[in-house]
């Protein structure tokens, strides 16, 4: 009887074909309903490690990401301090917060025959936009989607050590180092898809090298990694293939495009040409091809992005709203999109973070464990996640 009720609930929530994971979660729920409700591990931890099953009752609690997922899904993409924390605590725990829950609930209800929607996380510096993006990307990965994660669009716009004129188009410039690194990480994340998707077009790289029509995507990616000179064009080819093929009736994969620091794509660049004039964003192959992917003319997936002021160039420190950081061109390019605000920690989330650090032996100063110390920490960091991390690091 409980199973019948649950299958009815499942029919309402699941809209896409691959329902293995959600049905697994549903069976778990069924099992739990039949037995007694298992107690949560503690106030700040939850046993529910599947992002698809996170709901409002898990808000503010930490769930553990399995280390296999971290190695495949996040070779790049996690913030630097968080990666240090992973090594120190020997486990990867992320907090379930409202913005990512909201986007995950929208993703569950998407209609994949319509053009893909754009979600934008925005907020003050250090409120957890990148972490919300990583949570959503983890959900997409557990649902079996293809994940195209660009960890920081700003690194394609600054500090370029090698800038080559593009072989495909004379007016554009290549960045072989960044492109080959991205391809390597893309291969680590999406191993299973590389042997399934086939190219629909013939690509000629040099007089002797070409990739035939119908060859596997994996071959294309390997070509880009081994021949670093043509890696930017390979990236362009990969993005084009995926855009054309996703949403087609014969392809059975969903694509999640995750871009962190998307305001960099329309911003100014510090890269200079040989005659000291600055390079426009449209003159870089990588950026040009990525912008084509951010338009709304493909179906069968979603685009999840974040704004970032910390790595951005020529923006004021106090800008954080989409209008200010994206600028006119960016806003027109991203419009229409769904903005999701990421605020500072609420009181419950702060408590949860504080208790988690106490549990992991991170708050060592004897005074930091008292009420006075806690009040002082709240006063100093105003519940901003990154400030709290920096202050409590030396306590």
Partner 1 sequence: MAASISGLLKPWTPRVFLVRWSRYNPYYLEPEVRKEAYIKPEAELSAEEKEQRELKALRPIKAATNDVTSSVFSDPVISKFVGMMMLEGNKILANEIISKTLENIKRKQVDKYHKAPEGKKEEIECNPYAIFHQALENCKPVVGLASIQKGGKFYQVPIPLSDDRRRHLAMKWIITECRESKHRRTLMYEKLSQELLAASVREGNVIKKKLEMHKMAEANRAYAHYRWA
Binding site for partner 1 (CB under 8 A): 84, 87-90, 360-362, 364-368, 370, 372-373, 376, 393-395
Q: Which is nearer to partner 1, 88 or 159 (CB)?
A: 88
Q: Which is nearer to partner 1, 241 or 389 (CB)?
A: 389
How far is the C-alpha of 314 from the C-alpha of 326, rounded, in Å? 12
Cβ-Cβ contacts under 8 Å for 274 (sequence gap 6 or more): none
- Minimum CB separation of residue 49 from partner 1 in Å reads 19
Among all chains, which residue has been given the structure tokens 């924390």?
Answer: 85
CB atoms within 10 A of CB 25: 18
Judge contact between 260 and 153, C-beta under 8 A.
Answer: yes
How far is the C-alpha of 200 from the C-alpha of 187, rounded, in Å? 19
How far is the C-alpha of 82 from the C-alpha of 70, rounded, in Å? 12
Tokens of 51: 């992002």
- Minimum CB separation of residue 59 from partner 1 in Å reads 27
Q: Which is nearer to partner 1, 171 or 394 (CB)?
A: 394
How far is the C-alpha of 182 from the C-alpha of 279, rounded, in Å? 21
- Minimum CB separation of residue 358 from partner 1 in Å reads 12
Cβ-Cβ contacts under 8 Å for 5 (sequence gap 6 or more): none
Q: Which is nearer to partner 1, 184 or 390 (CB)?
A: 390
Cβ-Cβ contacts under 8 Å for 388 (sequence gap 6 or more): 345, 350, 353, 377, 381
Smallest CA-to-CA distance from 320 within 336, 337, 343 is with: 343
- Minimum CB separation of residue 384 from partner 1 in Å reads 17
Q: Which is nearer to partner 1, 225 or 378 (CB)?
A: 378
Q: Which is nearer to partner 1, 130 or 368 (CB)?
A: 368
- Minimum CB separation of residue 88 from partner 1 in Å reads 5
- Minimum CB separation of residue 316 from partner 1 in Å reads 23
Q: Which is nearer to partner 1, 307 or 363 (CB)?
A: 363
- Minimum CB separation of residue 366 from partner 1 in Å reads 8
Q: Which is nearer to partner 1, 80 or 366 (CB)?
A: 366
Among all chains, which residue has been given the structure tokens 């698809």?
Answer: 52
Q: Which is nearer to partner 1, 67 or 201 (CB)?
A: 67
- Minimum CB separation of residue 29 from partner 1 in Å reads 32
- Minimum CB separation of residue 378 from partner 1 in Å reads 13
């Amino acid at each position: 009887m409980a199973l019948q009720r649950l299958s009815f609930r499942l029919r309402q929530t699941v809209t896409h074909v691959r329902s293995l994971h959600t049905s697994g979660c549903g069976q778990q729920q069924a099992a739990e309903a039949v037995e007694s409700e298992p107690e949560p591990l503690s106030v700040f931890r939850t046993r529910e490690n599947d992002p698809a099953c996170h709901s409002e009752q898990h808000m503010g609690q930490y769930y553990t990401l399995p280390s296999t997922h971290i190695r495949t899904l996040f070779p790049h993409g996690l913030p630097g301090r968080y990666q240090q924390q992973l090594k120190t605590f020997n486990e990867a725990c992320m907090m379930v917060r409202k913005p990512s829950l909201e986007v995950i609930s929208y993703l569950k209800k998407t209609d994949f025959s319509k053009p893909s929607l754009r979600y934008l996380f925005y907020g003050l510096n250090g409120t957890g936009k990148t972490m919300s993006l990583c949570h959503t990307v983890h959900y997409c990965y557990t649902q079996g989607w293809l994940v195209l994660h660009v960890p920081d669009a700003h690194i394609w716009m600054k500090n370029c050590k090698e800038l080559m004129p593009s072989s495909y188009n004379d007016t554009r410039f290549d960045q072989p180092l960044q492109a080959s690194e991205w391809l390597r990480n893309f291969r680590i994340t999406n191993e299973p898809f590389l042997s399934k998707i086939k190219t629909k077009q013939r690509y000629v790289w040099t007089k002797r090298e070409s990739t035939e029509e119908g060859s596997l995507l994996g071959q294309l990616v390997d070509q880009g990694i081994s021949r670093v000179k043509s890696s930017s064009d390979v990236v362009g080819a990969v993005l084009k293939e995926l855009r054309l093929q996703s949403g087609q009736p014969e392809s059975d994969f969903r694509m999640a495009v995750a871009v962190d620091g998307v305001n960099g794509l329309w911003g100014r660049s510090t890269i200079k040409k040989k005659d000291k004039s600055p390079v426009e964003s449209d003159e870089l192959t990588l950026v040009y091809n990525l912008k084509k992917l951010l338009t709304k003319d493909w179906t069968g997936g979603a685009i999840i992005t974040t704004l970032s002021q910390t790595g951005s160039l020529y923006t004021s420190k106090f800008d954080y709203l989409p209008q200010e950081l994206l600028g006119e061109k960016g806003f027109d390019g991203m419009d229409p999109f769904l903005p999701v605000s990421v605020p500072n920690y609420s009181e419950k989330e702060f408590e949860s973070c504080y208790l988690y650090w106490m549990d992991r032996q991170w708050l060592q100063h004897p005074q930091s464990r008292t009420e006075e110390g806690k009040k002082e920490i709240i006063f100093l960091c105003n519940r901003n996640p990154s400030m709290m991390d920096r202050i409590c690091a030396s306590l």
